[in-house]
Structure 1
Amino acid sequence: MSESSESSESGESRRVVVVTGTRAEYGLLSSSMRAIEDRDDLTLDVVATGMHLSPQYGHTVDDIRADGFAIAREVHSLVDGDTGTAMAKSLGVCVAGMADALSSLDPDVVLVLGDRGEAFAAGVAAAHANVPVAHVHGGDSMAGAIVDDSIRHALTKFAHLHFPVTDRSAERIRRLGEEPWRITTVGAPGLDAVLAGEYDDSTTVRDRYDLPDDRSLALVVQHPLTSAPEQAGEQLAATLDAVGNLDDVDPVVVYPNADAGGRRMNAEIESREHLKAFRSLPREAYLGLMAAADVLVGNSSSGVIEAASLDLPVVDVGPRQEGRERADHTLRVPHDRAAIREAVERCLTDDGFRQRVADCENPYDHGGAGAAIAERLATVDLDGRLLRKRLTY
């Protein structure tokens, strides 16, 4: 335990390092970051890594700064390539960079989220330095995302505090042998901005991005499957063909993440003239697009989590989100043009289904996740008990 961790018990402000590697993950962490900054007993340091530092993915570290957050350290980690080998090499580079960054910052606790390699790298580096790790979105199940699920559950074993977003995820963490006192169910932090209405309204979104208001809007957000990166381009082609051939429907595409296969998807997007596509979007604009859209198509977690609270029908394409807890607002289909098209048409025209979407309850909505996370970080005892992990079986 660092000297700063010991002194924090005497009333001094605790230093929390938040690590973020992607635009989407930052959007989920931002409410916790605000809540940490708003407390006198916590001090925030932000470490940016991964896609945030790459011009190819929009250099979104600039968006974090534009939101008013200072960047304490930048850890460059992306190794060039579109394969699982490049992802593995990036993970190794990130672990080394995180070890240096955390050593210089000397935090009391490190906060990470989800199933990305950057979060895992930070968890490994922090745990080896005897710095407590707090993990958001542990215990989720995504049977279709093989590497992602493995990273998420492995990170649970490195983490000392768990912030699952549903009761079912909390139970999975307990079954992994984690002690119940370490677990606090907080709900999905990505819903904080949705519930507070902190996103652009439909008129603003349509005007800013030149979207007609007399046609249906289909938001397409599809990421590669790490288990089949060589198929990523043709899988996205099926989705874009299905949506693009519908009458009176305008597709709007957000570029995929940096996982293996992402470049194949980028090439597919760029091969299509007149397709409106964005490499990245500020969180308030992305949520605004979701609120303005008539349907979301793809395999983004936002389609499972945030969309349910925005009354947005979702066509969940392929197995990536398979096994993930969800409300009754999605239609699951394979990577098949006809199946995707039929599901999109149902989302747009089936009044009964649209009413079902409007009436569904979101299992991820527990209210105020960011504030709950900050409260726990400020009040948990930072002592030897926290660092000594014990299996319950």
Structure 2
Amino acid sequence: MPKPYRIALVTSGRADYGLLKPLWLALEADAEFSPSMIATGSHLVAEQGNTLDFLKNEGITPLYTVDMKISGDSAAALGAASGLGLACFAEFFERHDFDLLVILGDRVEMLAVATAALLNRLPIAHIHGGEATFGMLDDAVRHSLTKLSALHFVAHPVYARRVIQMGEAPQRVFTVGAIGLDNVTQIPRLSVSELSQRTGMDWSKPTILLTYHPVTLNAPSLAYAEMQTVLAAALASDLQILVTMPNIDAGGGQIYQAIIEGQRAAAEQLHFVKSLGQQGYLSAMQHCALLLGNSSSGIIEAASFKKPVVNIGERQLGRLAAKNVCHVTCDTQQILNAINQVSSVDFQQSLADLQNPYGQGESAAKILVELKKINLDDRNGLLKKGFDDLPAPTEQAE
């Protein structure tokens, strides 16, 4: 039997680790592959909830760390971390002979990882390319990662067309659905009492699950006021609220400050947790009354639970959304009106036949099927991908 292919998966935080976990388990269970996990970014930032310990407790091995030393969310701090990350990952990949690198999404840290891989002639497989998030740095990062990658595993045929539109050959682009839905079908949920015990709040009460991240093409100084606006609307609903930690992006610190101040002022109604873990977050999604904020989980995973979502602002505009999502601007009255709308019996009943446009949760298995068809020994063939032009438009007669 030939030696198994060495596949490296890079995770920069709690969110993408949860999404990569089904693929990790599938690779680990297959004798043709030998996966390694590399933790970087916010996993190594204590203020983000010590999520590296979670990976260790889950028994992920081999587990490597590359510390980018993220010291804040300013442009200077993130730029310095990216520069250090490029140097550290270039040296790391030089010491470890992987056959393929798997990266996911659009975190700015991944640009350093992908550039280091390119310098080391390490082919990249990118998950969740072709998507659009208006108002976000993530858009430029995601499309840049597409061009740095040799293989593309996308969540929807529309996204596959976009990747091809960027010059990627159709035979390198695979529509596999959203990999986060694998967790929806595979991870057992906590009961209401178990979730109540874990979070210290009563989940028999109607609860808003709130996650709000910075809109990174807006001025970071706006983030504090935006979060205050969101919290004011949520509190005015009189529903119980659980708020989760924002990303380490420019403006994340201001959002965190607003959350802490809001929680101190309304401790009985507003609860805050840095990290629920994947099981805890999916359980909260199952038992909540609605999702509020601008997280991709409201666009992708929530439809599988038939949960109403109030999506705020520009961060997720551009992504395909099912009919459970109500889009509003960041305005207290608009948000409150939308909370009342999606809480109505009529709206809830309209979701009875909802189908998730991102699939049914078999993405990891589909990725493995495609990886087994590809000659991972042919590094030159993977790296030298050329540019696949679209057909020229038909000339119009004058």
Give the TM-score normalised by structure 2.
0.92
Query: 1: distance between equivalents of 2:73 and 2:108?
Result: 15
Report the 3-state secondary structure (helix = DSSP H, G, I; strand = E; otherwise coil) of the residue aligned with 1:195.
Answer: helix
Note if 1:390 corresponds to 2:386: yes
Matched, 1:253 2:248: no
In 1, Cα distance between equivalents of 2:203 and 2:66? 42
Q: CA shift at 1:135, angstroms?
A: 0.2
RMSD over aligned CA atoms reads: 1.5
Match of 1:204 in 2: 194
Does the CA-based 8 Å contact 2:135-2:216 persist in structure 1?
no
**How far does residue 367 in structure 1 lie from its aligned partner after superposition?**
3.5
Q: Report deviation, 1:299.
A: 0.3
- Matched with 2:291 is 296
Indicate whether 1:168 and 2:162 are aligned: no
Shift of 1:71: 4.7
- Return the alpha-carbon distance in structure 2 between the equivalents of residues 376 and 190 of structure 1: 18
Q: Which residue of 1 aligns with 2:358?
A: 364
Q: Is the 8 A contact 1:73 1:101 kept in 2?
A: no
Query: How many Å apart are 1:214 and its aligned residue?
Result: 4.6
Query: Which whole-Å CA distance do the structure 1 matches of 2:385 and 2:56 have between them?
Result: 36
CA contact (8 A) 1:142 1:322 kept: yes
Conserved 8 A contact 1:36-1:42? yes
CA change 1:30–1:214 in 2 (3 A) is closer
SS in 2 for 1:43: strand
Preserved CA contact (<8 Å) 1:23 1:60 = yes
Local SS of the residue matching 1:230: helix
Matches within 5 A, 1:1-393: 11-145=2-136, 147-228=137-218, 229-247=220-238, 249-272=239-262, 273=264, 274=267, 275-348=270-343, 350-382=344-376, 383=378, 384-393=380-389
Q: Where does the alignment leave 5 or more consecutive residues of structure 2 unmatched?
A: 390-398
Offset from partner CA, 1:215-265 (integer Å, 9 cap, x none): 210011000111121111111111111111223x10100010100111111
**1:16 aligns to what SS in structure 2?**
strand
CA distance in 1 between counterparts of 2:99 and 2:170 reads: 22
Q: Mean alpha-carbon deviation: is it higher for 73-82 or for 161-170?
A: 73-82
In the alignment, the residues of structure 2 paired with residue 339 and residue 207 of structure 1 have an alpha-carbon distance, to the nearest angstrom, of: 33
d(CA) in 2 for partners of 1:163 and 1:199? 27
What residue number does 1:3 align with? Answer: none
Partners of 1:213 and 1:126 in 2: CA distance: 45
Is this contact kept in 2: 1:199–1:283, CA < 8 A?
no
Residue 110 and residue 341 in structure 1: after superposition, are their counterparts in 2 closer, same or farther (change >3 A)?
same
Instruction: Name the % identity.
Output: 35
The alignment of Structure 1 onto Structure 2 pairs a total of residues equal to 381
Q: What TM-score comes out, normalization by structure 1 length?
A: 0.93
Moved more, 60-69 or 148-157: 60-69
The answer as to whether partners of 1:114 and 1:136 remain within 8 angstroms in 2 is yes
Between the aligned partners of 1:225 and 1:104, the Cα distance in structure 2 is 37
Instruction: Indicate the SS of the match to 2:326.
Output: strand
Shift of 1:197: 4.8
Name the CA distance, whole Å, in 1 between partners of 2:329 and 2:309. 14
CA offsets per residue over residues 29-55 of structure 1, 9 Å max, x none? Answer: 110011110111100111100000110
Q: 2: distance between equivalents of 1:281 and 1:213?
A: 14
Match of 1:7 in 2: none
Deviation string for 1:191-225 (max 9, x for gaps)?
00112353323332123223324521001100011
Letter of the aligned partner of 1:262 in structure 2? G
More off after superposition, 107-116 vs 382-391:
382-391
Paired with 2:291 and 2:153, the residues of 1 have a C-alpha distance of: 27
Structure 1 CA distance, aligned partners of 2:73 and 2:89?
Answer: 23
Q: Which amino acid aligns with 1:62?
A: D
Cα distance in structure 1, aligned partners of 2:96 and 2:327: 44
